[in-house]
Every structure is written in C-alpha cells, then in structure tokens.
C-alpha cells in the first residue's frame, strides 16, 4: 500500500522517462507499424485467399479449380487503385533530378 501511494504521488510527465528513454519512442512507432502491416496481411491471407482453407470440410476438398475466386483475390482494391498511376513515389523530385535544365 505504501509503495502504491509513493508511485501515485510522482508527476505524470516523469512516469515514462524512468523506464524508457525518449529516443526509443520512434523505434516503437516503426516496429508497431511493421507489426500492424504484417497482421493485416495475415488476416487478409486467412480470410480472402482461396488457397487457404481453415475449415476441415474445405481442406478435404483437395485442389481448387475456381479461377474466378483466385482472380478476385489477386486483383484486390489497392492493386486496382495503383494500376493506372505512374510507378514513381515522388514524381516532382524525380523530374527535378532527371531533366537536364
């Protein structure tokens, strides 16, 4: 009880600095973003990939010959969005360094 009251009396801005240095927060953000992307891809693969079969009934079916379902998985929304766009991330910077003006 005494230890808990001692911890509660500390100022809130000093609570994190004792355990984690401020330089570590950007690393946490980067690792958290990567873990989020990996989890999103894992869920997408489990839920929408026709080759992944979670149920025992579907696993016993053998090889799938449903090409329409496979095509729908391969042509997802992000791929459709980026299909007609140029493959440059920053076109203005690329143009600045590539044009000899």
Could you state, in order of their start, the residue ranges of all structural domains in the chain? 64-101
Q: 0.85 cut: is pTM over it?
A: no
Query: What is the chain's percent helix, strand, coil content, to nearest 5?
Result: 60, 0, 40
Evaluate if residue 73 carries a pLDDT over 80. Answer: no
The SS3 of residue 100 is coil
Alpha helices in 2-86 (DSSP H): 2-8, 25-48, 56-59, 67-74, 77-82
pLDDT over 90, % of the chain: 21
Q: Are 89 and 83 in contact (CB under 8 A)?
A: no
Q: What are phi and psi of 11, to 5 degrees?
A: -70, 150
For residues 16 and 67, the model is more confident at 67
The answer to whether the Cα torsion of 74, 75, 76, 81 is positive or negative is: positive
Alpha-carbon distance 48 to 79, whole Å? 15
The predicted structure's pLDDT at residue 6: 52
Evaluate if residue 89 carries a pLDDT over 70. Answer: yes
pLDDT over 70, % of the chain: 68
Q: What is the pLDDT of residues 24-69, one digit of tens each?
A: 999 999 999 999 999 999 998 888 887 777 777 666 666 667 667 6
For residues 56 and 97, the model is more confident at 97
Evaluate if residue 12 carries a pLDDT over 70. Answer: no
- Chain centroid to CA 99: how far? 35
């Amino acid at each position: 009880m005494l230890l808990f009251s001692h911890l509660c009396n500390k100022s809130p801005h000093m609570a994190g600095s004792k355990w984690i240095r401020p330089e570590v927060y950007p690393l946490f953000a980067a690792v958290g973003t990567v873990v989020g992307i990996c989890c999103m891809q894992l869920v997408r693969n489990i839920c929408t990939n026709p080759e992944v079969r979670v149920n025992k009934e579907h696993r016993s079916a053998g090889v799938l010959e449903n090409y329409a379902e496979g095509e729908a998985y391969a042509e997802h929304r992000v791929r459709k969005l980026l299909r007609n766009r140029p493959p440059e991330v920053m076109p203005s910077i690329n143009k600045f360094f590539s044009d000899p003006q």
